[in-house]
Chain A
Amino acid sequence: MARSLLFPEFKIERDKERCIACQVCVRQCANDVHEGSDTEDTVVSQEEKCVGCQRCVNLCPTNALTVQTRKDGFRPNGNWEDRHLRGIYKQAETGGILLTGMGCDRLYPVYWDHLLLNASQVTNPSIDPLREPIELTTYLGKKEEKLDIHWEGDSPVVRTRLAPQLGLEVPVIFSAMSYGSISYNAFRSLAEAAREAGTFCNSGEGGLHPDFYPFGENIIVQVASGRFGVHRDYLRVAAAVEIKIGQGAKPGIGGHLPGEKVSKEISRTRKIPLESDAISPAPHHDIYSIEDLERLVFAIKEAINYEKPVAVKIAAVHNVAAIASGVVRAGADIVTIDGIRGGTGAAPQVIRDNVGIPIELALAQVDERLRLEGIRHHSSLLIAGGIRSSADVIKAIALGADAVYVGTAALVGLGCHLCQKCYTGKCNWGIATQDPVLTKRLNPNIGRRRLVNLLRAWAFEIKEMLGGMGVNAIESLRGNREHLRAVGLSREECSVLGVKAAGEGW
């Protein structure tokens, strides 16, 4: 075999003074990077296989290890970056599509970081969240044009039949990650945390393992192009159903879970034969128009007796505003839009990094379009794709979202170090894997605790920021772009975002 032109991406430094050859690193690396010696008290590392997941660094009891990106010494070239060279070497060797995991990591502008929040001074008092209640509760679903209220004696009675709603104690939902793409323990952590924190998690397109049916009230189930695991009880047990048309990490293409990963439990959950490939087609083969979508939306509403909201998830692409408008008109109670930085368990790198648009721009345009058309209240807007902090959440809401999905942030909360090797199935943190040796590494009791902590911390921060703006309910911030100002953006970007430049007054 010809010699590979690739060389290690990472450099492992082992402090000989500190290394006690305890071999924890050896035992923890699923990529067999570290190797101990029985005869000598030493451990050596083979960097070729290192993915930079930092598991060994984290568990080393003497902090003897550092794993850093290796300076590979290619001749600097403004046009030919290292990643281009690596990509070409790899493809020249394999002849295949470059696969990757997680969200787009290219340096496209992150508009959250160019948006700044307002605060009250003198003329409009701010609110201290420790002294006064600040409401974060959010309801997702169709809102009525008007309410028919009658008074019976002293008490009001709403006569209008209200559309079904999802009630969230905090406007953050764990986004769609299937059991299959993530481990049983990871899914359990999400489901338990969602229940404890008063929010929801999303089954992804992998069906719902029977063990998670008791969590149905906090689960949104997905119906995607492969229809895996979809049946009556699956739809009925959930709090809401989401039709997945597209995904921000890979708009326009389908998915593929290789047969090797279709274990007994996964085959049972997805309702497909053991070890058969699970292929999600790129389009839904029964949806070629908004009218087709409408038929599916209502077919599902029929199935669940109109008792729960139905969401439709699309990727943020160039014409997203018009598409979203069609989706609302097709009867979706919730429109989910997933931006280019949205994560995935596996996607072609070229798609992930080059297809779609940032969620901030898509959100601003969709919200504006729906308002202009007078149908914004027909659906709630749920956005996904690169929410990293409570600041991103509150900016998204000010930009027009009702609530946000977090996927990557939740996984990072569970221990993910963004090595982007989810597609290999060898996640050393026990998250994106089905290997029984690795899945044990995520104790769902710890996972649940960490996720609940994360949401609680974000909720506190959101309340602080709201209080500072003098707003006592998150509802009052929604779509209020006067609370946002842009820094470092062009006129065009400001105009697409519908946000004034920093320094401009009301």
Chain B
Amino acid sequence: MSETLRTDYLLIGFSVSSWFAACALREEDSSGRILAVTEEDRVYSRPLLSYVLGNRSNGMTYFGDVVSENPAEVWWNCAVEKLDGPGKWVELADGRRVAFGKALVATGGVPVFPPIPGAEGGGVFTFTRVDDMERMAAYIDQHDVEDILVLGGGFIGLKTCEALIALNKRITLVELAPRLLINMMDQTGSRYLEKALLKEGVEVVLEDTVERFERKENELCSSVLKSGRSLPHRLAVVAIGVRPNISWLAGSGLQVNRGVLVNAHQETSCPGVFAAGDVAETMNMITGERSVVAVWPEAVAQGKVAGKNMAGKHKTYQGSLPLNAVEVGETAIVSAGLVNPPDNGTYVTIIREERDVYQKLVLKEDRIVGLIFVGDIEKAGIYVHLIRHRIPVDSFREKLLQPDFGIISLPLNFRKHMVEGAGIEV
């Protein structure tokens, strides 16, 4: 055993959850040492990747002041090999050990990459980290890539399409399921999405997948789909999913399922060790089931809760709410909560459908539990608020999804509470 270092708080991985945890820690504990270790070489906003690739953002930084006001000491390029939860230490890739008082596991997710023949040898990318993006951008430049295959019609696949549309590439989107965004859209919503993609020149291939990639002179040139169809392309993005990055936790003493199991304080089965963000498996606030909800707002909320609890405060996480937005051309698409309810008679849906607008609310008893908005999304936040705070909607149910629905439609007390804010009267 080489030298053992000590820190009061150790943050493993340094992205959004860790950043908010560090801030929360510093609010409660002005002197404790906060050390963050990350295998990456910088801090950046992961969801920004697709926007940077599509030249829609100037850079990867979020929170312009993240470096200048960072409350944590960060060791870059420093992977953690091993965690001993009960023993409260970690071992770094370089062999050093760090003992900690409290630790936060925030190592995010890793892309799922199925074994596809021909994938080795360049030209096939996953797209979840900044180096993926940089390599992909370089490859596009070097090879004058025009045709691109995106495998996976889920959220990351769509975000990739958004970026590549902005780069004016010819895109084929291949999805195994019978429709796109199967988790965040319903049948109708997916149709609107397909229509929007078509308008932007994206070819959508459903119920199919890549059987093998083909190469000419070792360069990627096409793929053959399960259906037998052959698609020419110089670059492929495999975006069929992300799973929590937990393989390194074997033997750590932390209970894991799909992700690291945590309680309502973001604490793992091992006292003093917390987890937050895409690696954590939390309670879904709608279904009550445990799941990994890998979205930015939840990473923020979980990081804050973890930080407060690590500092000894008692703060409870309200449960996760799946929440996503994509935009294809002019069409903005958002969804939240439960959008494909089981057909068991306990759920009711309200739908407004116009030429370019599709809105759907899913209600259980007198509460909204999910929504899909396509086209007209500006008031989505009001409905998300109703979901998050479990506001009964019976008294204004008939106004839901009406074009003039607004804060005015809400019961007086709730309306005042919302609009009042910091000493503001209604």
Direct contact of A and B (CB under 8 A): no
